[in-house]
Amino acid sequence: MRLGLISDTHDRVPATAALNSAFMRAGVRMVLHAGDHCSPFSLSPFLDASMPVVAVFGHNDGDQQGMRAHAATGMGVELYESPHSLDIGGARILLVHDIGDVSELSLHAHAIVIHGHTHLQEMKTRADTLIVNPGEGCGWLYSAPSAAILDTDTRHVEFIKLPAAEWVR
């Protein structure tokens, strides 16, 4: 299964919508968001895309109650406290905002760990665990919204960076 990986969207709705479009063009079936959406309205691009989303809260998600209420206005957006474990396509996945918040034991109990917080795209392995940071969906710090696509069957990760022409309005 192809998963869209995103984090740290920080209210930048046009960039989030453009990344969702890139996910759809690439055949993504579900999105995992590793936190720091920030405001309830920042979930709108996911609701508009009608694509299943599993997300965790990050450090900057202040109005969690409002975000849950906004997510409930549509279909397919599930919000959880970080960290959150789930099984997708036969793979045990840990979705967490700040990887520093989980123990090594917890990391190694999962085949795949998706995290955010640093805004930097990164992929590494520890033992048999694939660890991916999709970067910053907002593009605030490094000038280009970024995300990743993960194929759970092959564990291949494709990093995405959007040129300004695709999201600046």
SS3 at position 16: helix
| Sheet containing strand 91-96, strands side by side | 84-88, 91-96, 112-115, 129-134, 121-126
Q: What is the pTM of this model?
A: 0.95
Q: Which pLDDT tens digit goes with each residue over 105-149? A: 888 899 999 999 999 999 999 999 999 999 999 999 988 999 999
For the chain, which residues make up each domain, given as ranges?
A: 2-166
User: Any residues with CB less than 8 A from the CB of 35 and at least 6 apart, and which?
Assistant: 7, 8, 55, 56, 57, 58, 59, 61, 82, 96, 97, 116, 117
At the top level of CATH, the class of 2-166 is alpha beta
Which residues are bridge partners to 96 per DSSP?
115
The answer on pLDDT for 168 being more than 80 is no
The answer on pLDDT for 169 being more than 70 is no
